[in-house]
Amino acid sequence: MQLYNKLSAKERAALIEQAGKDRLTLSFYQYAKISNPQEFRDQLFVVWDRLDVLGRIYVASEGINGQLSLPADRFNEFKEHLDTINFLKDIRLNIAIEQDNMSFLKLKVKVRNKIVADGLNDNTFDVTNKGIHVGAEKFNELIENKKTVLVDMRNHYESEIGHFKNAITPDVDTFRESLDIIEEDLKAHKEDKNLVMYCTGGIRCEKASAYFKHKGFKNVFQLEGGIIEYTRQIKEQGLENKFIGKNFVFDERRAEKISDEVIAQCHQCGKPADVHTNCANDACHLLFIQCDDCKNEMDNCCSTTCQEINALPYEAQKALRKGQGNSNDIFKKGRADHLPFKKDLRNIYETLKVDKK
């Protein structure tokens, strides 16, 4: 029985091209108690591999977090399978705003300790005791309220290319960092402010809302379905779009355009730009924002050093990497001293009228 992906991304891309079928990109999550995550994972892989599902799915004892694509004509089969699983029956599926047949090129179903890396070791709070879910219309009303503090629960490289107007956008690398910053900086407003949070698809807010309620915040709200569902609802209901820029996504598309504004800048020259790319040097792969002019001039590299290395024959590059291990930049997202125009989002009070006294 095959329980792991055996094709390379290149081989899979060729098969997708040959099939000539449109694929759907979607995401979903659910917190639930799974007694045997490994067994559950294996069962999912067998069924989804047969349905030609591709993507990145995390399974843990606390639930499931899935980002995937599948042939559009097999969507009903996929949904029927989800409905056979007790805690996934009738689950909301966030369909991507912009579709791309190559959004995922491998099926990876992994067992993790948690479905969101939160770094928390506090088991005294109940993750199901979450904040109030609100749709796009109520969300728009709430964020215009002077008693509301709007918080972006995503990381710096996500909010840099797009966020809601007047949102707190902590300059953090991890979800865990955000939790401490928000609790500390808003501790004086646990009872007199509405704490309203949003993220890509809702999963981070789900845990964060339970955490902040546990920490004493009285009025906690979260955008149901995140930015993805918000975008769908404002289009369907003809509501005002209060999101500016792009929504960062964790697949080959890297982003979905929500509005026409370009709020970020090229990390190399400072021109308006909001397209993320990975440095072409295999020993680097730093994720950063690069405009078309710099992409051409720098050969899709983040620095002249990487450009020079990337121009070498493959065997020469391989010899340079031997025994060196990966550059730390592989794990970075736009953090490097040689990127002079990385936008600094550190001052979380800059755009807020929150009384710190």
Same domain, 63 and 147: no
Q: Taking residues 77-96, what's their average pLDDT? A: 96
**pLDDT given for residue 343 in this prediction:** 62
pLDDT at 3: 86
State the residue range of the domain holding 36: 23-111
pLDDT band at 346 (very low <50, low <70, confident <90, very high): very low
Please indicate, yes or no, whether residues 219 and 143 belong to a single structural domain of this protein: yes
Q: Please, are residues 46 and 95 in contact by the beta-carbon 8 Å criterion?
A: no
- Average per-residue pLDDT for the chain: 90
pLDDT of residue 325: 61
Whether 101 and 161 map to the same domain: the answer is: no
CATH at 44: 3.30.70.100
What the block records as the tokens of 324 is 């060196």
Please check whether residue 265 is in contact with residue 309, taking contact to mean a CB–CB distance below 8 angstroms: no
Which of 319, 334, 337 has its CA nearest to residue 282?
319
Query: Does the pLDDT at position 15 exceed 70?
Result: yes
Is residue 106 domain-resident?
A: yes
Q: Is 328 left (phi over 0), alpha (psi -120 to 50) or beta?
A: alpha
Average pLDDT over residues 263-270: 95
Q: Which residue numbers are catalytic?
A: 199
Q: Residue 93 corresponds to which tokens in the numbers above? A: 């599926």
Distance between alpha carbon 109 and the CA centroid of its chain, in Å?
17
Per residue in 289-342, pLDDT (tens digit) is: 999 999 999 999 999 999 999 999 989 988 888 876 655 555 567 788 888 887
Whether residue 357 is predicted with pLDDT greater than 50 in this model: the reply is: no
Give the model's pLDDT for residue 250: 87
Domain count, the chain: 3
The answer to whether residues 136 and 206 belong to one domain is: yes
% of the chain surpassing 70 pLDDT: 93
| Residues 172-204 pLDDT 10s | 988 989 998 999 989 999 999 999 999 999 999
pLDDT in tens, 19-29: 999 999 999 99
Residue 112: per-residue pLDDT:
94
State yes or no: pLDDT of 356 exceeds 50: no
User: In this structure, what CATH number is given to the domain that contains residue 177?
Assistant: 3.40.250.10
Element (H, E) at 257: strand 255-257
Query: Residue 284 pLDDT > 60, yes or no?
Result: yes
Query: Is there a domain that residue 311 lies in?
Result: yes
- Say what the pLDDT of residue 208 is: 93
Residue 292 lies in a domain: yes
pLDDT in tens, 100-149: 999 999 999 999 998 988 877 777 778 788 999 999 999 999 999 999 99
